[in-house]
Amino acid sequence: MISDINNIFSEAALRMKPSAIRECLKLTQQPDIISFAGGLPAPESFPVDDLNKITEEVFREDATAALQYTTTEGDQLLREQLLERYRNEGCDITINNIAVSTASQQALDLLGKIFINPGDKVICGLPSYLGGLSAFNAYGAELTGIPFDENGMQSTLLEDKLKELKSQNDLPKFIYLIPDFQNPAGITMPKQRRIEILEIAKKYDVLIIEDSPYREVRFEGEHQPMFYSLDNTGHVITLGTFSKTLAPGFRLGWVIGHEDILAQYIQAKQAADLCTSTLIQKIAAKYLQKGLMDKNLEMTIQNYHEKRDLMIEGFQKHMPEGVRWTTPQGGLFLFLYLPEHMDATDLFFKAVKQKVAFVQGEVFHCDGSGKNTMRINFSYVGREKNIEGVKRLAEVIKENM
Protein backbone atom coordinates (compact mmCIF):
# COMPACT_ATOMS: atom_id res chain seq x y z
CA MET A 1 0.00 0.00 0.00
CA ILE A 2 1.19 3.54 -0.74
CA SER A 3 2.68 5.05 2.42
CA ASP A 4 0.62 8.27 2.24
CA ILE A 5 -2.33 7.77 -0.07
CA ASN A 6 -3.52 11.36 0.40
CA ASN A 7 -0.44 12.60 -1.43
CA ILE A 8 -1.60 11.02 -4.68
CA PHE A 9 -5.32 11.78 -4.48
CA SER A 10 -6.39 14.69 -6.70
CA GLU A 11 -7.47 18.02 -5.26
CA ALA A 12 -10.97 17.27 -6.51
CA ALA A 13 -11.02 13.93 -4.66
CA LEU A 14 -9.86 15.55 -1.44
CA ARG A 15 -12.64 18.15 -1.72
CA MET A 16 -15.27 15.42 -1.79
CA LYS A 17 -17.21 14.74 1.37
CA PRO A 18 -19.41 11.77 2.26
CA SER A 19 -23.10 12.48 1.73
CA ALA A 20 -24.63 13.41 5.05
CA ILE A 21 -27.90 11.85 3.93
CA ARG A 22 -26.26 8.55 2.96
CA GLU A 23 -24.44 8.47 6.28
CA CYS A 24 -27.72 9.08 8.10
CA LEU A 25 -29.40 6.31 6.16
CA LYS A 26 -26.81 3.83 7.43
CA LEU A 27 -28.18 4.49 10.92
CA THR A 28 -31.75 3.91 9.84
CA GLN A 29 -31.50 0.49 8.21
CA GLN A 30 -32.81 -1.29 11.29
CA PRO A 31 -36.32 -2.57 10.53
CA ASP A 32 -37.79 -1.04 13.70
CA ILE A 33 -36.70 2.52 12.83
CA ILE A 34 -39.32 4.70 11.16
CA SER A 35 -37.34 6.72 8.67
CA PHE A 36 -38.44 10.09 7.31
CA ALA A 37 -34.82 10.61 6.20
CA GLY A 38 -34.46 9.26 2.67
CA GLY A 39 -35.81 10.81 -0.50
CA LEU A 40 -37.46 7.52 -1.31
CA PRO A 41 -40.54 7.04 -3.46
CA ALA A 42 -43.20 4.71 -2.12
CA PRO A 43 -42.50 1.09 -3.17
CA GLU A 44 -46.19 0.70 -4.05
CA SER A 45 -45.72 3.39 -6.71
CA PHE A 46 -43.46 1.15 -8.80
CA PRO A 47 -45.37 -0.20 -11.84
CA VAL A 48 -43.89 -3.69 -11.54
CA ASP A 49 -46.40 -5.56 -13.72
CA ASP A 50 -46.27 -2.98 -16.52
CA LEU A 51 -42.47 -2.94 -16.52
CA ASN A 52 -42.32 -6.72 -16.51
CA LYS A 53 -44.48 -6.89 -19.63
CA ILE A 54 -42.58 -4.11 -21.39
CA THR A 55 -39.23 -5.72 -20.60
CA GLU A 56 -40.41 -8.98 -22.16
CA GLU A 57 -41.60 -7.01 -25.19
CA VAL A 58 -38.26 -5.24 -25.58
CA PHE A 59 -36.37 -8.54 -25.45
CA ARG A 60 -38.81 -10.16 -27.85
CA GLU A 61 -38.79 -7.37 -30.43
CA ASP A 62 -35.48 -5.52 -30.04
CA ALA A 63 -33.11 -7.63 -27.92
CA THR A 64 -29.98 -7.16 -30.01
CA ALA A 65 -30.22 -3.36 -30.01
CA ALA A 66 -31.27 -3.27 -26.33
CA LEU A 67 -28.13 -5.15 -25.29
CA GLN A 68 -25.79 -3.09 -27.47
CA TYR A 69 -24.17 0.30 -26.94
CA THR A 70 -26.27 3.31 -27.93
CA THR A 71 -25.40 6.92 -28.71
CA THR A 72 -24.22 9.16 -25.90
CA GLU A 73 -27.15 11.49 -26.59
CA GLY A 74 -29.56 8.66 -25.80
CA ASP A 75 -32.15 6.39 -27.37
CA GLN A 76 -34.03 8.05 -30.25
CA LEU A 77 -37.52 6.93 -29.18
CA LEU A 78 -36.96 7.99 -25.58
CA ARG A 79 -35.83 11.45 -26.63
CA GLU A 80 -38.82 11.74 -28.96
CA GLN A 81 -41.18 10.88 -26.12
CA LEU A 82 -39.49 13.42 -23.82
CA LEU A 83 -39.63 16.01 -26.60
CA GLU A 84 -43.41 15.62 -26.84
CA ARG A 85 -43.86 16.00 -23.09
CA TYR A 86 -41.76 19.16 -22.90
CA ARG A 87 -43.38 20.72 -25.94
CA ASN A 88 -46.68 20.23 -24.10
CA GLU A 89 -45.08 22.25 -21.28
CA GLY A 90 -44.51 25.12 -23.69
CA CYS A 91 -40.81 24.51 -24.34
CA ASP A 92 -39.65 25.50 -27.83
CA ILE A 93 -37.16 22.68 -28.40
CA THR A 94 -36.12 19.98 -30.85
CA ILE A 95 -34.69 16.55 -30.18
CA ASN A 96 -31.23 18.11 -30.47
CA ASN A 97 -31.91 20.00 -27.23
CA ILE A 98 -32.27 16.75 -25.24
CA ALA A 99 -29.54 14.42 -24.00
CA VAL A 100 -29.93 11.47 -21.66
CA SER A 101 -28.04 11.11 -18.37
CA THR A 102 -27.57 8.35 -15.83
CA ALA A 103 -30.13 9.99 -13.53
CA SER A 104 -30.01 13.71 -12.84
CA GLN A 105 -27.17 13.29 -10.34
CA GLN A 106 -24.80 12.46 -13.20
CA ALA A 107 -26.04 15.54 -15.02
CA LEU A 108 -25.25 17.71 -11.99
CA ASP A 109 -21.76 16.24 -11.83
CA LEU A 110 -21.09 16.68 -15.56
CA LEU A 111 -22.40 20.24 -15.57
CA GLY A 112 -20.06 20.95 -12.69
CA LYS A 113 -17.23 19.43 -14.73
CA ILE A 114 -17.87 21.51 -17.86
CA PHE A 115 -18.54 24.84 -16.14
CA ILE A 116 -16.65 25.07 -12.85
CA ASN A 117 -13.00 25.90 -12.26
CA PRO A 118 -11.70 25.97 -8.67
CA GLY A 119 -12.78 29.21 -7.07
CA ASP A 120 -15.71 29.91 -9.42
CA LYS A 121 -18.86 31.23 -7.82
CA VAL A 122 -22.14 29.31 -7.95
CA ILE A 123 -25.41 30.72 -6.62
CA CYS A 124 -27.80 28.35 -4.83
CA GLY A 125 -30.72 28.57 -2.45
CA LEU A 126 -30.62 28.61 1.32
CA PRO A 127 -31.46 25.74 1.65
CA SER A 128 -30.69 23.66 -1.45
CA TYR A 129 -30.38 20.03 -2.60
CA LEU A 130 -27.34 18.42 -1.01
CA GLY A 131 -26.53 16.33 -4.09
CA GLY A 132 -26.16 19.46 -6.19
CA LEU A 133 -24.04 21.21 -3.57
CA SER A 134 -21.77 18.16 -3.30
CA ALA A 135 -21.37 17.87 -7.07
CA PHE A 136 -20.39 21.52 -7.45
CA ASN A 137 -18.14 21.50 -4.39
CA ALA A 138 -16.16 18.61 -5.84
CA TYR A 139 -15.01 20.88 -8.68
CA GLY A 140 -13.98 23.65 -6.31
CA ALA A 141 -17.02 25.92 -6.56
CA GLU A 142 -17.48 28.67 -3.98
CA LEU A 143 -21.16 28.34 -3.12
CA THR A 144 -23.11 31.49 -2.33
CA GLY A 145 -26.54 31.00 -0.79
CA ILE A 146 -29.53 33.27 -1.29
CA PRO A 147 -32.18 33.08 1.49
CA PHE A 148 -35.77 32.01 0.81
CA ASP A 149 -39.09 33.52 1.64
CA GLU A 150 -42.44 31.75 1.21
CA ASN A 151 -41.99 31.98 -2.59
CA GLY A 152 -38.47 30.58 -2.77
CA MET A 153 -35.21 32.36 -3.60
CA GLN A 154 -35.61 36.09 -2.97
CA SER A 155 -35.09 37.93 -6.23
CA THR A 156 -34.08 41.24 -4.63
CA LEU A 157 -31.32 39.54 -2.62
CA LEU A 158 -30.23 37.65 -5.72
CA GLU A 159 -29.82 40.87 -7.68
CA ASP A 160 -27.97 42.52 -4.81
CA LYS A 161 -25.50 39.63 -4.76
CA LEU A 162 -25.03 39.61 -8.53
CA LYS A 163 -24.47 43.39 -8.52
CA GLU A 164 -21.83 42.93 -5.83
CA LEU A 165 -20.09 40.09 -7.68
CA LYS A 166 -20.14 42.01 -10.97
CA SER A 167 -18.42 44.95 -9.30
CA GLN A 168 -15.69 42.49 -8.29
CA ASN A 169 -15.52 41.05 -11.82
CA ASP A 170 -16.50 37.70 -10.32
CA LEU A 171 -19.96 36.77 -11.64
CA PRO A 172 -21.10 33.19 -10.93
CA LYS A 173 -21.05 30.46 -13.53
CA PHE A 174 -24.73 29.72 -12.88
CA ILE A 175 -27.71 29.95 -10.53
CA TYR A 176 -28.92 26.57 -9.26
CA LEU A 177 -32.68 26.31 -8.60
CA ILE A 178 -35.31 23.67 -7.83
CA PRO A 179 -38.47 25.68 -8.52
CA ASP A 180 -41.13 22.98 -8.01
CA PHE A 181 -41.62 21.42 -4.54
CA GLN A 182 -38.05 22.31 -3.69
CA ASN A 183 -35.77 19.83 -1.97
CA PRO A 184 -35.59 20.26 0.98
CA ALA A 185 -38.02 23.11 1.69
CA GLY A 186 -41.01 21.87 -0.32
CA ILE A 187 -41.63 25.41 -1.68
CA THR A 188 -42.96 26.05 -5.20
CA MET A 189 -41.82 29.28 -6.82
CA PRO A 190 -44.74 31.23 -8.36
CA LYS A 191 -44.66 32.48 -11.94
CA GLN A 192 -43.93 36.10 -11.08
CA ARG A 193 -40.87 35.17 -9.02
CA ARG A 194 -39.63 32.94 -11.86
CA ILE A 195 -39.97 35.83 -14.30
CA GLU A 196 -38.11 38.16 -11.93
CA ILE A 197 -35.22 35.73 -11.47
CA LEU A 198 -35.02 34.95 -15.18
CA GLU A 199 -34.85 38.65 -16.05
CA ILE A 200 -32.12 39.16 -13.47
CA ALA A 201 -30.15 36.23 -14.92
CA LYS A 202 -30.44 37.73 -18.41
CA LYS A 203 -29.46 41.19 -17.16
CA TYR A 204 -26.24 39.83 -15.68
CA ASP A 205 -25.80 37.18 -18.41
CA VAL A 206 -25.74 34.23 -16.00
CA LEU A 207 -27.04 30.72 -16.68
CA ILE A 208 -29.85 29.11 -14.67
CA ILE A 209 -29.83 25.39 -13.94
CA GLU A 210 -33.43 24.34 -13.36
CA ASP A 211 -33.41 21.01 -11.51
CA SER A 212 -36.89 19.53 -11.88
CA PRO A 213 -37.23 15.99 -10.48
CA TYR A 214 -40.61 16.45 -8.77
CA ARG A 215 -42.52 18.73 -11.13
CA GLU A 216 -45.04 16.10 -12.25
CA VAL A 217 -45.89 15.07 -8.69
CA ARG A 218 -48.32 17.93 -8.01
CA PHE A 219 -51.41 17.21 -5.94
CA GLU A 220 -52.83 20.67 -5.36
CA GLY A 221 -52.40 24.28 -6.40
CA GLU A 222 -51.83 25.92 -9.77
CA HIS A 223 -49.36 24.50 -12.27
CA GLN A 224 -46.46 26.97 -12.72
CA PRO A 225 -44.53 27.47 -15.98
CA MET A 226 -41.05 26.02 -16.32
CA PHE A 227 -38.10 28.40 -16.40
CA TYR A 228 -37.18 26.84 -19.74
CA SER A 229 -40.58 27.63 -21.24
CA LEU A 230 -40.29 31.27 -20.07
CA ASP A 231 -36.87 31.69 -21.66
CA ASN A 232 -36.08 32.13 -25.35
CA THR A 233 -32.43 33.14 -25.06
CA GLY A 234 -30.61 29.95 -24.06
CA HIS A 235 -30.05 31.07 -20.47
CA VAL A 236 -31.72 27.99 -18.93
CA ILE A 237 -30.62 24.36 -18.61
CA THR A 238 -33.29 21.98 -17.31
CA LEU A 239 -32.70 18.61 -15.66
CA GLY A 240 -35.28 15.83 -15.40
CA THR A 241 -35.34 12.29 -14.04
CA PHE A 242 -37.50 9.19 -13.71
CA SER A 243 -36.25 8.59 -10.16
CA LYS A 244 -39.32 10.13 -8.49
CA THR A 245 -41.93 9.41 -11.16
CA LEU A 246 -41.08 5.89 -12.33
CA ALA A 247 -38.32 4.11 -10.39
CA PRO A 248 -35.03 5.34 -8.90
CA GLY A 249 -33.44 1.99 -9.76
CA PHE A 250 -33.62 2.93 -13.44
CA ARG A 251 -30.98 5.64 -12.86
CA LEU A 252 -32.32 7.49 -15.87
CA GLY A 253 -32.50 11.25 -16.40
CA TRP A 254 -31.93 13.92 -19.03
CA VAL A 255 -30.62 17.41 -19.76
CA ILE A 256 -32.41 20.03 -21.87
CA GLY A 257 -30.43 22.98 -23.10
CA HIS A 258 -28.92 24.95 -25.95
CA GLU A 259 -27.17 22.77 -28.54
CA ASP A 260 -23.78 24.38 -27.86
CA ILE A 261 -24.03 23.48 -24.17
CA LEU A 262 -25.21 19.95 -24.92
CA ALA A 263 -22.28 19.39 -27.29
CA GLN A 264 -19.86 20.01 -24.41
CA TYR A 265 -22.03 17.98 -22.01
CA ILE A 266 -22.01 15.02 -24.42
CA GLN A 267 -18.21 15.11 -24.66
CA ALA A 268 -17.99 14.99 -20.87
CA LYS A 269 -20.47 12.13 -20.74
CA GLN A 270 -18.53 10.16 -23.34
CA ALA A 271 -15.54 10.26 -21.01
CA ALA A 272 -17.69 9.29 -18.02
CA ASP A 273 -19.69 6.29 -19.25
CA LEU A 274 -19.92 6.30 -23.08
CA CYS A 275 -23.70 5.94 -22.80
CA THR A 276 -26.50 5.29 -20.34
CA SER A 277 -27.96 1.76 -20.27
CA THR A 278 -29.57 1.04 -23.63
CA LEU A 279 -31.90 -1.57 -22.16
CA ILE A 280 -33.28 0.76 -19.49
CA GLN A 281 -33.77 3.55 -22.02
CA LYS A 282 -35.75 1.30 -24.36
CA ILE A 283 -37.96 0.07 -21.52
CA ALA A 284 -38.65 3.64 -20.38
CA ALA A 285 -39.34 4.77 -23.96
CA LYS A 286 -42.01 2.11 -24.47
CA TYR A 287 -43.48 2.88 -21.07
CA LEU A 288 -43.99 6.49 -22.16
CA GLN A 289 -45.13 5.54 -25.66
CA LYS A 290 -47.89 3.31 -24.27
CA GLY A 291 -49.25 6.15 -22.12
CA LEU A 292 -48.59 4.30 -18.87
CA MET A 293 -46.59 7.07 -17.22
CA ASP A 294 -49.49 9.45 -16.65
CA LYS A 295 -51.80 6.62 -15.60
CA ASN A 296 -49.43 5.50 -12.86
CA LEU A 297 -48.65 9.07 -11.83
CA GLU A 298 -52.32 9.64 -11.00
CA MET A 299 -52.19 6.87 -8.39
CA THR A 300 -48.84 8.05 -7.04
CA ILE A 301 -50.08 11.62 -6.68
CA GLN A 302 -53.18 10.52 -4.79
CA ASN A 303 -51.05 8.35 -2.51
CA TYR A 304 -48.58 11.14 -1.69
CA HIS A 305 -51.36 13.66 -1.19
CA GLU A 306 -52.97 11.42 1.42
CA LYS A 307 -49.63 10.83 3.14
CA ARG A 308 -48.82 14.53 3.26
CA ASP A 309 -52.23 15.33 4.72
CA LEU A 310 -51.84 12.58 7.31
CA MET A 311 -48.44 13.92 8.36
CA ILE A 312 -49.64 17.53 8.60
CA GLU A 313 -52.60 16.36 10.67
CA GLY A 314 -50.18 14.59 13.01
CA PHE A 315 -48.00 17.68 13.32
CA GLN A 316 -51.00 19.82 14.17
CA LYS A 317 -52.05 17.34 16.82
CA HIS A 318 -48.72 16.46 18.44
CA MET A 319 -46.04 19.10 17.78
CA PRO A 320 -45.35 21.54 20.62
CA GLU A 321 -45.81 25.27 20.28
CA GLY A 322 -42.90 26.97 18.58
CA VAL A 323 -42.48 24.31 15.87
CA ARG A 324 -43.61 25.18 12.34
CA TRP A 325 -43.43 23.52 8.93
CA THR A 326 -44.02 24.03 5.22
CA THR A 327 -47.06 22.56 3.46
CA PRO A 328 -45.87 21.53 -0.02
CA GLN A 329 -48.27 21.36 -2.96
CA GLY A 330 -46.50 18.26 -4.29
CA GLY A 331 -43.24 16.35 -4.25
CA LEU A 332 -41.89 14.21 -1.44
CA PHE A 333 -40.65 16.54 1.31
CA LEU A 334 -41.59 19.16 3.83
CA PHE A 335 -39.30 21.28 6.00
CA LEU A 336 -39.71 21.60 9.73
CA TYR A 337 -38.45 24.59 11.76
CA LEU A 338 -37.58 24.20 15.44
CA PRO A 339 -37.17 27.12 17.85
CA GLU A 340 -33.91 28.90 17.01
CA HIS A 341 -32.08 27.74 20.13
CA MET A 342 -32.46 24.06 19.18
CA ASP A 343 -29.93 22.02 17.19
CA ALA A 344 -31.38 19.37 14.89
CA THR A 345 -28.09 17.45 14.77
CA ASP A 346 -28.20 16.86 18.51
CA LEU A 347 -31.85 15.96 18.16
CA PHE A 348 -31.13 13.46 15.37
CA PHE A 349 -29.21 11.04 17.57
CA LYS A 350 -31.83 11.28 20.31
CA ALA A 351 -34.54 10.61 17.73
CA VAL A 352 -32.74 7.53 16.39
CA LYS A 353 -32.69 6.14 19.93
CA GLN A 354 -36.48 6.50 19.88
CA LYS A 355 -36.54 4.69 16.51
CA VAL A 356 -37.43 7.63 14.27
CA ALA A 357 -35.14 9.46 11.82
CA PHE A 358 -35.00 12.63 9.70
CA VAL A 359 -32.27 14.63 7.92
CA GLN A 360 -30.73 17.64 9.63
CA GLY A 361 -31.50 20.79 7.69
CA GLU A 362 -28.02 22.21 8.22
CA VAL A 363 -26.56 19.95 5.50
CA PHE A 364 -28.71 21.73 2.89
CA HIS A 365 -27.30 25.16 3.79
CA CYS A 366 -24.01 25.98 2.06
CA ASP A 367 -23.16 28.56 4.76
CA GLY A 368 -23.67 26.26 7.74
CA SER A 369 -26.91 27.88 8.85
CA GLY A 370 -30.23 26.09 9.31
CA LYS A 371 -29.16 24.29 12.49
CA ASN A 372 -32.73 24.41 13.81
CA THR A 373 -34.29 22.78 10.73
CA MET A 374 -35.00 19.28 9.49
CA ARG A 375 -36.16 17.71 6.25
CA ILE A 376 -39.02 15.23 6.49
CA ASN A 377 -39.92 12.75 3.75
CA PHE A 378 -43.62 11.82 3.69
CA SER A 379 -43.74 9.63 0.57
CA TYR A 380 -42.05 6.44 1.76
CA VAL A 381 -43.56 5.10 4.96
CA GLY A 382 -47.06 3.64 5.18
CA ARG A 383 -50.02 5.08 7.07
CA GLU A 384 -49.40 3.40 10.45
CA LYS A 385 -45.69 4.26 10.52
CA ASN A 386 -46.48 7.80 9.41
CA ILE A 387 -48.75 8.30 12.43
CA GLU A 388 -46.42 6.57 14.89
CA GLY A 389 -43.30 8.28 13.53
CA VAL A 390 -44.80 11.74 13.94
CA LYS A 391 -45.75 10.92 17.54
CA ARG A 392 -42.22 9.75 18.34
CA LEU A 393 -40.62 12.76 16.68
CA ALA A 394 -42.92 15.20 18.47
CA GLU A 395 -42.15 13.55 21.79
CA VAL A 396 -38.38 13.86 21.24
CA ILE A 397 -38.78 17.54 20.36
CA LYS A 398 -40.94 18.21 23.43
CA GLU A 399 -38.41 16.54 25.73
CA ASN A 400 -35.59 18.71 24.37
CA MET A 401 -37.24 22.12 24.09
Provide CATH 3.90.1150.10 ranges for the chain. Answer: 5-47+294-399
**Strands of the sheet with 174-177, listed across from one edge:** 98-101, 253-256, 236-241, 207-211, 174-177, 121-126, 142-149, 152-153
For residue 181, CA distances in Å to 202, 326, 399 come to 24, 10, 31
Provide CATH 3.40.640.10 ranges for the chain. Answer: 49-292
By C-alpha distance, which of 167, 173, 113, 101 is closest to 142? 173
pLDDT band at 398 (very low <50, low <70, confident <90, very high): very high
Considering only 7-21, 56-70, 243-257, 381-395, which range has the smallest mean pLDDT? Answer: 7-21
CA–CA dist 396, 391 (Å, integer) = 9
Output the pLDDT for position 28. Answer: 54
Output the pLDDT for position 29. Answer: 66
Give the fold, CATH level 3, of 5-47+294-399.
Aspartate Aminotransferase, domain 1 (3.90.1150)
Residue type, position 391, single letter: K
Beta bridge partners of 152: 149
pLDDT band at 101 (very low <50, low <70, confident <90, very high): very high
Q: What are phi and psi of 356, to 5 degrees?
A: -145, 145
Is the Cβ–Cβ distance between 196 and 155 less than 8 Å?
A: yes
Mean pLDDT over 266-280 rounds to 97
Residue, of 7 and 324, whose pLDDT is higher: 324
Is the Cβ–Cβ distance between 388 and 396 less than 8 Å?
A: no
Output the pLDDT for position 25. Answer: 61
Give the model confidence (pLDDT) of 168-220 as tens digits.
Answer: 999 999 999 999 999 999 999 999 999 999 999 999 999 999 999 999 999 99
Output the pLDDT for position 12. Answer: 80
pLDDT at 281 over 60: yes
Give the model confidence (pLDDT) of 320-370 as tens digits.
Answer: 999 999 999 999 999 999 999 999 999 999 999 999 999 999 999 999 999
Give the model confidence (pLDDT) of 15-69 as tens digits.
Answer: 877 666 666 666 556 788 999 998 899 999 999 999 999 999 999 999 999 999 9
Output the pLDDT for position 46. Answer: 97
**Helix, strand or coil, per DSSP, at residue 5:** helix
Percent of the chain with pLDDT over 90: 91
Output the pLDDT for position 4. Answer: 74
By C-alpha distance, which of 135, 98, 183, 182 is closest to 19? 135
**Helix, strand or coil, per DSSP, at residue 34:** strand
User: What value does the mean pLDDT of the chain take?
Assistant: 95
pLDDT band at 13 (very low <50, low <70, confident <90, very high): confident
Torsion of CA 345, 346, 350, 355, to 10 degrees: 0
| Domain spanning 49-292: CATH 3.40.50.1980 | no
Output the pLDDT for position 32. Answer: 86
Give the model confidence (pLDDT) of 108-142 as tens digits.
Answer: 999 999 999 999 999 999 999 999 999 999 999 99
Mean pLDDT over 137-156 rounds to 97
pLDDT at 391 over 60: yes
DSSP conformation letters of 147-200: EEETTEE-HHHHHHHHHHHHHTT---SEEEE--SS-TTT-----HHHHHHHHHH
